[in-house]
Amino acid sequence: MKRSTSDTTRSGALGPAEGGGRLLCVACVIEMIESDDIASVRKSFVLSGISGLLRCSPGALRELLQQDHRVGLHLTASLLGMLHSMEDPATLGKVDQVLVQLLMELHNEPSYRFVLDEIHKQLSDQLSMKSLLPVFNFLGNLVEAVPNLAFTLATQYASLLDHLCSALLYPDEALKASVLYVWLRLCGTAGGSAAQSVPAAIRDRVCILLLQTLANASSPQLINRCVGLLSLLVQMGEAVSVLMKSSPVLGSENQITHSNNSQTLSQTQEQQSPEHCPLPLILKKLLLSGDETLHAASAKCIASVLVHSPAQFSAPFIKADIPEFLFDRLAGSSDEVLLWSVYSCLVLLSEDPLFFSQCHSVYGIESLVRSLKEALRLTNMEVPKQGLLLLTEILERQPPNVRLFPSGGGFVAVSEAVLAGVSSSCMLVATQAANAGSALLRLNHQSIPVQYRQIEGLIEAVTNRFSELTPPPPARHRSSASLRRSDPSSQASRSEGFLLQALVCFQAACRLAEECASEPVLKENTFTAPSKHSPDTLESLCRCLLRCCDSVWIPTIIRMCERAPNPQILQHFYSVLSAQFTLLPSLMPVFAKKLASSGFYRLALEHKAHLCAGNRNPNLNASCCGFLQKLSMSLLTQSDSSSGSYQHDFDEVENLLLYNLPSLCYRLSDWPSLLREAPGLQLCEYKGPRATQFCLLIMLHLALQQGDRLLPDYTVFSSVVWLLHSVQDQGCCALPLSVLRSALYLLAVTQDKCPSLDGAPLNCISKALSSCQSFSSLYIHHPALLHFICRYPELAERFGPLVLELWLTKQAERSDSQQTMMAGVQEKGEKRDSQTDERQDPETTDTVELLTLVEKYPAVILTLLDMVCTREAPLAERALRVLDLLLRGQRQYEADLCANLRPTLLQALQRLSMENMGHSDQVNSLPLVLKLLCVLQTSDPPSSSSYSKMDGVHFKLLYHVSNIAGRLKPTNTQSLLPAFNYLYCCLSLSPAHCTDRAVTMLLSNSGLMDQLQTVLSSSSLSSSSSSSSSSAPSLPPSGLLCCCHLLLSSLITLQHFHSTQVHTSVRWSLDSAVHRLLVQKRNTDNLLLVSFLRFLQAQLDVDLASAVVCVSSGSGLLGLRPLGVEDGALYPLGTRGAQLLSAALSGLLLQKNELLLRATVNCLSSLLGFLQRKSPTTAKNVVCQPWSRFLLSCMISSGESCFLQPAILRLISTLLQHSSTAVLWEPDLLQVMEAVERRGVKELSEDAAQALRQLLSQILSSFLQPPPPEEHRQRVMSVAESLSLQMQAESCNQSLHSDVLRVGDVSICLSDFTVRAG
C-alpha dist (Å) from residue 964 to 872, 926, 929, 959, 1012: 21, 9, 12, 9, 13
Task: Give the Cα separation of 307 and 348 in Å (integer).
Answer: 7
In this predicted structure, what is the pLDDT of residue 923?
45
Kindly give, in sequence order, each residue whose CB lies less than 8 Å from that of residue 647, ignoring residues fewer than 6 positions away.
none
Q: Is 80 exceeded by the pLDDT of residue 314?
A: yes
Q: What is the mean pLDDT of residues 135-156?
A: 81
Residue 24 phi, psi (nearest 5): -115, 130
The secondary element (H helix, E strand) that includes residue 150 is: helix 148-156
What confidence tier does 1055 reach under pLDDT thresholds 50, 70, 90?
Answer: very high
Q: Is 70 exceeded by the pLDDT of residue 784?
A: yes
Average pLDDT, the chain: 79
According to DSSP, the β-strands at 1306-1309 and 1300-1303 are antiparallel
Task: Give the Cα separation of 1082 and 1089 in Å (integer).
Answer: 10
Say if CB 58 and CB 105 are below 8 A apart.
yes
Q: How many CB atoms lie within 10 A of CB 1088?
A: 20
Determine whether 1172 is exposed, middle or buried from the number of CB atoms within 10 Å of its CB (0-12, 13-18, 19+). middle
Say if CB 72 and CB 111 are below 8 A apart.
yes
Sign of CA dihedral 442, 446, 451, 454: negative
Q: What is the mean pLDDT of residues 162-187?
A: 85
Cα–Cα nearest to 978, from 1086, 851, 877, 872: 877
In this predicted structure, what is the pLDDT of residue 150?
79
SS3 state of residue 12: strand
Q: What is the mean pLDDT of residues 327-356?
A: 87
Cα–Cα nearest to 1141, from 1113, 1163, 1172: 1163
Up-side HSE of residue 553: CA atoms within 13 Å toward CB? 32
In this predicted structure, what is the pLDDT of residue 527?
53
Q: Is-cis flag, bond preceding 449, omega within 30?
A: yes
Q: Is 50 exceeded by the pLDDT of residue 1285?
A: yes
Say if CB 959 and CB 947 are below 8 A apart.
no
Q: What is the mean pLDDT of residues 111-138?
A: 78
In this predicted structure, what is the pLDDT of residue 13?
45
Q: What is the mean pLDDT of residues 55-61?
A: 67
Q: Is 80 exceeded by the pLDDT of residue 770?
A: yes
In this predicted structure, what is the pLDDT of residue 720?
92
- Name the percent of the chain lying above pLDDT 70: 79
Q: What is the mean pLDDT of residues 428-444?
A: 93
C-alpha dist (Å) from residue 1014 to 26, 981, 982, 1067, 1159: 157, 16, 19, 10, 25
Q: For 353-367, 702-716, 1250-1264, which range has the lowest pLDDT when averaged over its residues? A: 1250-1264
Query: What are the tens digits of pLDDT across the range 445-481?
Result: 888 888 999 999 999 999 999 988 888 776 544 444 4
Cα–Cα nearest to 139, from 156, 117, 105, 116: 116
Q: Is 80 exceeded by the pLDDT of residue 1044?
A: yes
- Greatest mean pLDDT among 369-378, 918-927, 1308-1317 lies in 369-378
What confidence tier does 1084 reach under pLDDT thresholds 50, 70, 90?
Answer: confident
Alpha helix ranges (H) inside 759-893: 759-770, 783-791, 793-827, 834-838, 842-856, 860-870, 873-888
Amino acid at 188: G
Task: Give the Cα separation of 469 and 452 in Å (integer).
Answer: 27
In this predicted structure, what is the pLDDT of residue 152?
82
- Greatest mean pLDDT among 65-79, 750-764, 1009-1023 lies in 750-764
Query: What are the tens digits of pLDDT across the range 855-894?
Result: 888 788 888 888 887 788 788 888 888 877 776 665 544 5
The secondary element (H helix, E strand) that includes residue 928 is: helix 926-939
Q: Is 70 exceeded by the pLDDT of residue 1027?
A: no
Task: Give the Cα separation of 896 and 858 in Å (integer).
Answer: 12
Say if CB 670 and CB 614 are below 8 A apart.
no
Say if CB 253 and CB 185 are below 8 A apart.
no
Q: Is 70 exceeded by the pLDDT of residue 1022?
A: no
Q: Is 70 exceeded by the pLDDT of residue 749?
A: yes
In this predicted structure, what is the pLDDT of residue 1297?
46
Cα–Cα nearest to 1008, from 991, 1033, 987: 987
SS3 state of residue 340: helix
Query: What are the tens digits of pLDDT across the range 388-402?
Result: 999 999 999 999 888
Query: What are the tens digits of pLDDT across the range 343-373?
Result: 999 999 999 888 888 888 888 899 999 999 9
